Structure formats: C-alpha cells, structure tokens
C-alpha cells in the first residue's frame, strides 16, 4: 500500500500532508507487452517449430496457459491430452518485454525489480546484462537495478530451463537415490531418477493421485519495478505481548530504511474493526541506515479474532508513516488480535494430546485439507478462492490445512480465511518422499523461502500452525523409505536422515520461532514432532489410509481408530455429470473408458477398480456411468460422515477432524467434497450437518449403537433426544424421548443399544432407527442408523412427489414421499440451479421445502428436475 500520495491527508492527523509526499515510492507493474517462445535451439524445437516463433504472453501466467491461449496446444483438461503435452516440461522457454521510463522514475535514488514468483530455474537479463539466476519458485526475488535503467526500450528477458533436464544428470549420477513421489508414466523422466524432490517447485506439477502431470514454467506471480528516494518503510511487525478480554499489550516494530543522516518523523495509528482510531504515536528517528523502531501499544477492551463459531473475526488496521525532507512512505497491515498455542499435555497412559488453543480456549478443529485450486495457479482468481472457502465455512468448518505439495497461497487466500474465521494449518511446501537436507545450499534456499513467506503472511490471524512437511517422516519410518536405503547404503542413509532432522527439526523450527509471531511449529504431518513413532493414534496427529488405501478396509474401520487429531482420511468420488461433461463426451463416459481413466489418477488410472470395490461392497453394482457417479458420492458421504462423527464423539481425547480434501485442481475423480467448478458433492452437504455446532453421533459397530450428543456451543442447553424405530413404510414400531442438559463444548454419550434392543424381532432389512436432538417439537439434528448393508435393505420403490412454485423471492421445491427414501439427490441437469440442501434421507410422509438458487424459468425448472434415491440405483451390470 506504499505510494498512495492522495491518501496521506486522511492517513494521520498528526502529520501534515505536504509536497514531500509527492516523493513517495513508486510501484510500477510490469505485466504488459510480454511475448514468449520455445528457444529455437531447444531439443524440442524440431517437432514444435510453431512454438519457436514469438507469441503473446500473459504475465502473471504459465507456459501452458500461454500455449493454450495461442492455440498451440489443446486444452490440457479436456479428453486425454496429458500424455501429448509432456514435451512442454522438457523445453527451455524465453519471455521478453520492453518498457519505457519517465525522467522522474529514473531520477530516483533506488530501484528494485521484484519478481514475486519465477517458476523455477530462471535466468533474468536487463538490457542484455545478467541480472538474476533464480532457482526457487516459492521465493520473492528482489534485485537492485539503479543505474541499469534507461528512458527508452528497456529490455527485460527471462529464460526458464527445464527442471527435469537441469537436475536429471545429477540425480542419475547418485549411486543410491532418495525416495521420490509419483513416477512419470510418460517417459519424460525415468522412474528411478525423479527430480521433483531436488527442486523448489510445486510438487504437484510432477503429478499426484488427484491431478495431472504438467511440469510448467513461467512468471507465475507479479513482477514490478519499485523506485524511491528518501525514507522507506520495509515492514510492520505487530507482536502480541499479552492479550485477554481486558487489554492487549502490543509491540509494533517498524523496519525503516533511509540514506541521509537527517531526522525522520515516524507516526503510527491503529484503527479498530469499525474504523475508529484507538491508538496514535509519533517518534523521531535520527540514526541513518536501516533500523527497527519499536513502539509499545495498549488497547483497552480489545475485540479479539476467533475461529468460526466461537466469536467474531475482528480485525484491526495498523498504519505507519515516515516523513522527512526527502519524502515520505506509508505502509499498512490488517491484523487480528489473538493468541494461539498447541496444547500437548500428557495423559496417564503415556499418550499426548494435540489441541489448538485460541485465546485460551481449546477448539475442536473441523475441516478439510486444501490442495492447489488449479494446475496453473495464475488462473486462480479471488472469486474462485472465495467460492471454495465460503463453501468450507458454509459447511460449518473452522479449519483448513494448506497441504505441502502445492504453493504458498496469495494474500487473497488468507484475507478470506481471516474474514471467514477459518484457522489455517500451513505446511511448508514439501509434499512427500525425502529431501536432500544433507545439502547445505538446498537447506539455505529453503530457509530463505520460509523467511520470505512467513514475513509475507505472518500478520494473518487465521494461521495457527506452520508444519514442516507432509508425510515425509512417516514415509521414512513406516513406508520403507528409510529401511530400503539403510539396507543399500547405511552411511548415506544416516546422512539423509541427519539432513532431514537438520532441515525440519532445526532450521525451519528456528525460522518459525524467529519470524512467525508466536505461531507454533510442527515438524511433519503426521508425526509426534520428530519423537518416536510418526503416525500414532495416541500422540500427535494422524493420517489414516487403511480405509481407501491398502488394505482397503470397509468404512466401519474408521470407528476403530481414535486419534488425538485426525489430519487426513478420505474416500474418493466422481464429480457431477455436468462437470464430467466438460472433458468427456457422453460416448466417452464409461467406467473403463480411456478418457475417464485419464481423469482418474489413483493407481495410475486403475482407481475406478478401488471405487467399485467400495460401491459394490455396500451399495451394489452400478447400472451405468451415471449410477456409478451417484453411488460414488453416496459412498463417500456416508463413510466420511461415519469417521467425522466418531472423531467428534471422542472429544476431548480427539480434538480435530480434517478430511481429505476440500477442493479440486481439475475436473476428475478425487477425494474432494467441492469439485473444480465449485459444485458440491453429496459429502459437502453431509459435512454441513456432521460439522454443525449441534449434531447427533449415533454410531453402530459390531451390533451396538452408541448415541453421543455433540455441542460446540459456549453455553449448556436444556434439550431432548428422541429415538424412533420405524419400518421403511413409515410405521413407528417404538419411540422414546429423554430430557438432557447438553453441556457446552462437549460430546455426551447418553445411551447405548444392542441391535436386539432396537429391533425387538423386526426385519433388519426393512427397519431403521432415527435418533434426533430436539428442542420441543423442532428437530435440531438427526442421524439414521441401518442394520445391514445398503444393498441388502429392502428399500421400497419410491415415488417422490415434487412441486416447484414461485414465492416472491424466487422458487421453492417441495418434496414428499409416502415411503422412506434414502440418499435423495436433486439435480437440474445443465441448469445453473442449486437447491439449498441435498443428499438427505426423506422419512415416510416427511415434507421438505427447499429454496432454489439460480436463474431459470419455472417451466425450465420443471422440465430439468430429476429426483432420485438409493432405491433407483444399482444392482445391474456396469457398462
């Protein structure tokens, strides 16, 4: 926010807006006039001559999106294009722009070129002279250029070298390799010499089990020229020294840079969430050079930032200004006042807790893991971020985990998580395998990366954890990565592990301690912070993949795992047919079809076999691809609900449940609950219910149903719970109702029933138990328990009556069924219309009235509406 001269008159009443303000630093974006090409002497040039010609480029952008925009490649997301586009990641790409400068800019004493993101091995020249050699996509590169600029025709050139070709000779020369991630199936990189772990580039670009392999390159974030004379505010850092409901004791550190030995006036003001000034201060600075000014601040009755569901997301504005004879500079930060700690108390059985404590209050974390929002991050807009993060909030989440195989998100992401009250578990960008931490230069590069990003993001109150990596410690200890290398070369294995400990146990821990303003550090996920076992239910956080992953246990196995904090677990499903239609024609939509396999990345395209295994075990055989999509979503939603409710029912032993995953990187099969186009799968509708502040966990295991009532409210509530045992025709076989004082922030087990007690001789295939939390006649939460696999239930053929009518504000849909309908799904085909709820059970005789969101006529709505339930799906052969 520097250089806003017009703002200074309203910025601080303590300082007078003067002519000196016109000398404020200038920021000029260099995003225009770029062009790109494949280097003519590149090995790929013979087969791709058209790419060696100059073409218009978009900055920020990537080479893949530039090639697509110039019709040089097909859409990477449509059909099975991936295999034919791997040559791009092997090429060397040149970008160039030219720009003029006015006399005022050239007269400035200082000039810096700033690249916020160069992906990855980049050689930068300015006016024909070398300027920078970058080697880290995650870093911000600042290069002084004063004296190297001219008035006309400045030439800025960037050449990107292939990370595969750059690193492959070194990796192939290693006598014994360290473990990588996903080998390429396309021949562009040998399976036994993967380079992804050796380069500081988003790991998912090399392919993952939910997205394509596109090893892209480019100027993927902003590039600008900064010029200034006189003083400069480099940073504002707000340290919280003490905070409670009565007062906030802060220390505001201003990093000031100046040349001349002259006095500067430094002014600070803080505005509360309503824009009211609550603090002002001034100070004179006389020493030259770069220095730090510390200003104490006390705020009475502060409005604290809280996670969603626990209070307001209050944010303050901190503004600083320095003024001297040579000019002025201003800087602004938006902050939240909160404290955060990771509670690790030991228990009597040798276990150790894992709970986030915000403002002194333990918070049960409810949420999901977040992956990158696109294979090409420059395409991700603030609107797309809001769409998916708002979906997380709408599903009653209060935490997301930013997974380590992608990239550090833009400020927009964290502005939104601050606003929405979503705590962020932030991984450093290490997605798996093993790193060359034994290489001092590699570690130094990572430390610089970490410092860059912590300083950029540390003022966001939503960030509550910095975590070293994803699954690298458990891979070494539990997956055979360590034992295999130890068997091959014990000395090298020790070197590798010692380097890992140095990087993740020492270097990153120190950077977080020095820079992150009190946010805790965790070495790896899952782990116990480098202590003993890496993936343990009794200590630290846990990833559980024996359901879905090998040995592909049934979803009921979730009930046998009670961790201290479950940070990953998941089941896969396909997105809606409307999303599938974007990349596959109706003729291509076959479970075993090549295009569908190309968009199923688990087990190298064989993931549909695993998906069918789970569908057929519980729900029967899909009749066709549409059935397959519907049943995959039902299976995913049912299974994750079972796990999440078990985690919540295990509070306070368990204090977090983050399923894998919230979002998608493209249109394909994945573990997401919100697909690439923002469409909610059945899981996300379920999540809104199982993560609600009041919920019912009626969990059946081995013929016993345990009923636990869940509350995230801050006060106790006088309520009732009700049990109705019913048959599928709607006949109530028995009913009971009990008063309960539901404690605040609690999981209260209130009853336990055997199947015999519930059924009393009724047919288990035609009977269900309905457990509800009631406030008088209002049902606040519900869970239905079944006594056999869905495919064994004698669900009656349903005829769900539906009507759509206008109500003055739009349209409402009314549903009613004479018989029980399980897993009701409402769909409007190609219409952009969404019901306010979906993926629910409809009891016999029950009526649901749902508002419809979207634009369509009444006639179009009636024609497009399709309502189905589980009785309509399954049982016949696949196609």
Q: What is the DSSP letter of 592?
A: T
Reported as type and span, the H/E element at residue 496 is helix 490-500
Largest CA distance in the chain: 92
* 3-class DSSP state of 625: helix
* Token reading at 249: 């004791």
Residue found by looking up tokens 């206008």 in the block: 806
C-beta atoms surrounding 122 within 10 Å: 24
CA distances, 863 to each of 827, 856, 866 (Å): 11, 11, 9
Order of strands, sheet of 746-754, starting from the edge strand that comes earlier in the sequence: 694-701, 704-711, 746-754
User: In b/e form, how buried is each residue of 133-144, taking b as 16+ CB within 10 angstroms?
Assistant: ebbbbbbbbeee
* CA 717 vs CA 58, 115, 711, 776, 834: distances in Å: 56, 54, 9, 12, 33
Dihedral angle sign, alpha carbons of residues 134, 140, 143, 149:
positive
Cα angle vertex 392, ends 407, 534, to 5°? 55
Which residues are within 8 A (CB) of 399 and not within 5 positions of it... i.e. 6 or more apart?
307, 356, 365, 366, 367, 422, 423, 424, 425, 464, 656, 658
Question: How far is residue 535's CA from residue 475's CA, in Å, rounded to a whole number?
Answer: 10
Cis peptide before 120 (omega within 30 of 0): yes
Given phi > 0 = left and psi -120 to 50 = alpha, else beta, which region is 597?
alpha
Angle, to 10 degrees, between the axis of helix 625-649 and the axis of helix 682-690? 20
Give the span between the Cα atoms of 238 and 456, in whole angstroms: 13
Report the C-alpha gap between 574 and 276 in whole angstroms. 49
DSSP, residue by residue, 637-693: HHHHHHHHHHHHHTTTT--EEEES-S--SSSS-BS-SB-TTSPBPHHHHHHHHHTSS
Active site members? 471
For residues 602 and 63, give the distance between their C-alpha atoms in angstroms, rounded to a whole number.
26
The owner of tokens 């078990």 is: 646
532: nearest Cα among 399, 352, 270: 352
Q: CA of 75: how far to CAs of 57, 119, 242, in Å? A: 17, 21, 54
Question: Residue 63 is inside which H or E element, if any?
Answer: helix 63-69
Would you give the end-to-end CA distance of the chain in angstroms?
58
């Amino acid at each position: 926010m520097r250089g806003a001269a017009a703002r200074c008159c309203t910025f601080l009443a303590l300082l007078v807006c003067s002519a000196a303000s016109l000398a404020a630093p200038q920021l000029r974006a260099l995003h225009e006039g770029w062009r790109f090409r494949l280097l003519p002497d590149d090995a790929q040039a013979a087969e791709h001559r058209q790419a060696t010609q100059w073409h218009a480029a978009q900055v920020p952008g990537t080479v893949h999106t530039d090639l697509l925009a110039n019709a040089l490649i097909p859409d990477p997301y449509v059909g099975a294009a991936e295999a034919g586009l791997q040559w791009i990641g092997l090429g060397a790409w040149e970008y160039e722009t030219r720009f003029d400068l006015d006399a005022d800019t050239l007269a400035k004493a200082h000039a810096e070129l700033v690249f916020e993101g160069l992906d990855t091995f980049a050689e930068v020249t300015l006016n024909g002279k070398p300027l920078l050699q970058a080697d880290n996509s995650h870093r911000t590169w600042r290069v002084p250029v004063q004296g190297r600029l001219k008035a006309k025709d400045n030439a800025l050139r960037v050449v990107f070298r292939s990370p595969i070709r750059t690193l492959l000779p070194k990796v192939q020369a290693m006598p014994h390799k360290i473990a990588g991630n996903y080998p390429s199936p396309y021949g562009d990189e040998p399976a036994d010499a993967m380079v992804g772990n050796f380069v500081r580039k988003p790991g998912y670009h090399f392919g993952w089990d939910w997205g394509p392999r596109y090893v892209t390159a480019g100027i993927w974030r902003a590039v600008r020229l900064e010029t200034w004379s006189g003083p400069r505010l480099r940073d504002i850092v707000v340290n919280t020294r003490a905070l409670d409901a009565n007062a906030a004791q802060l220390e505001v550190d201003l990093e000031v840079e100046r040349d001349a030995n002259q006095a500067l006036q430094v002014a600070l003001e803080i505005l509360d969430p309503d824009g009211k000034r609550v603090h002002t201060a001034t100070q004179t600075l006389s020493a030259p050079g770069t220095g730090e000014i510390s200003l104490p601040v006390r705020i009475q009755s502060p409005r604290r930032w809280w996670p969603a569901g626990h209070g307001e997301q209050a944010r303050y504005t901190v503004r600083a200004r320095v003024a001297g004879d040579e000019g002025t500079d201003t800087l602004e930060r938006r902050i939240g006042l909160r404290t955060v700690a990771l509670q690790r108390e030991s228990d009597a059985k040798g276990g150790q807790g894992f709970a986030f404590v915000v403002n002194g209050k333990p918070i049960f974390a409810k949420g999901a893991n977040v992956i990158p929002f696109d294979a090409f991050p420059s395409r991700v807009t603030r609107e797309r971020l809001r769409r998916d993060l708002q979906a997380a909030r709408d599903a009653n989440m209060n935490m997301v985990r930013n997974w380590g195989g992608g990239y550090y998100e833009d400020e927009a992401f964290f502005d939104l998580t601050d606003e929405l009250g979503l705590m962020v578990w932030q991984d450093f960008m290490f997605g798996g395998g093993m790193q060359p931490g034994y290489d001092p230069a590699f570690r130094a590069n990572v430390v610089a990366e970490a410092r860059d990003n912590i300083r950029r993001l540390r003022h966001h109150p939503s960030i509550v954890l910095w975590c070293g990596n994803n699954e690298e410690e458990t891979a070494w200890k539990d997956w055979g990565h360590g034992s295999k290398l130890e068997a091959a070369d014990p000395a090298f294995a020790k070197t590798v592990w010692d380097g890992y400990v140095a990087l993740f146990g020492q270097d990153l821990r120190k950077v977080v301690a020095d820079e992150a303003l009190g946010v805790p550090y965790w070495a790896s996920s899952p782990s116990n912070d480098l202590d003993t076992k890496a993936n343990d239910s009794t200590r630290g956080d846990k990833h559980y993949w024996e359901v879905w992953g090998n040995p592909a246990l049934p979803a009921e196995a979730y009930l046998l795992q009670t961790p201290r904090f479950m940070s990953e677990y998941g089941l896969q499903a396909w997105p809606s047919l409307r999303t599938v239609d974007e990349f596959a024609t109706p003729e291509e939509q076959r479970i075993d079809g090549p295009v569908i396999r190309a968009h199923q990345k688990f087990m190298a395209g064989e993931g549909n076999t695993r998906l069918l295994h789970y569908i057929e075990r519980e729900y029967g055989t899909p009749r066709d691809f549409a059935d397959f999509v519907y049943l995959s979503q039902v299976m995913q939603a049912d299974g994750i609900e079972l796990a999440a409710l078990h985690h919540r029912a295990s509070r306070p032993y368990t204090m977090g449940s983050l399923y894998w995953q919230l979002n998608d990187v493209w249109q394909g099969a994945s573990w997401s609950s919100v697909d690439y186009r923002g469409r909610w799968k059945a899981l996300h509708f379920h999540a809104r219910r199982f993560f609600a502040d009041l919920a019912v966990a009626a969990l059946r295991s081995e013929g016993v149903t345990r009923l636990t009532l869940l509350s995230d409210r801050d006060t106790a509530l006088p309520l009732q719970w009700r049990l109705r045992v019913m048959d599928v025709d709607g006949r109530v076989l028995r009913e009971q109702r009990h008063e309960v004082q539901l404690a605040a922030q609690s999981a209260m087990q209130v009853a336990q029933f055997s199947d015999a007690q519930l059924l009393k001789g009724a047919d288990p295939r035609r009977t269900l138990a309905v457990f509800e939390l009631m406030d008088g006649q209002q049902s606040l939460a519900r869970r239905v328990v079944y006594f056999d696999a869905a495919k064994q239930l004698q669900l009656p053929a349903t005829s769900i009556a539906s009507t759509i009518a206008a109500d003055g504000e739009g349209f409402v849909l009314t549903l009613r069924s004479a018989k029980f309908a399980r897993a009701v799904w409402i769909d409007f085909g190609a219409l952009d219309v969404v019901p306010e709820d979906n993926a629910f059970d409809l009891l016999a005789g029950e009526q649901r009235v749902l508002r419809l969101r979207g634009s369509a006529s009444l006639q179009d709505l009636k024609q497009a509406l399709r309502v189905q339930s589980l009785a309509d799906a399954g049982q016949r052969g696949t196609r």
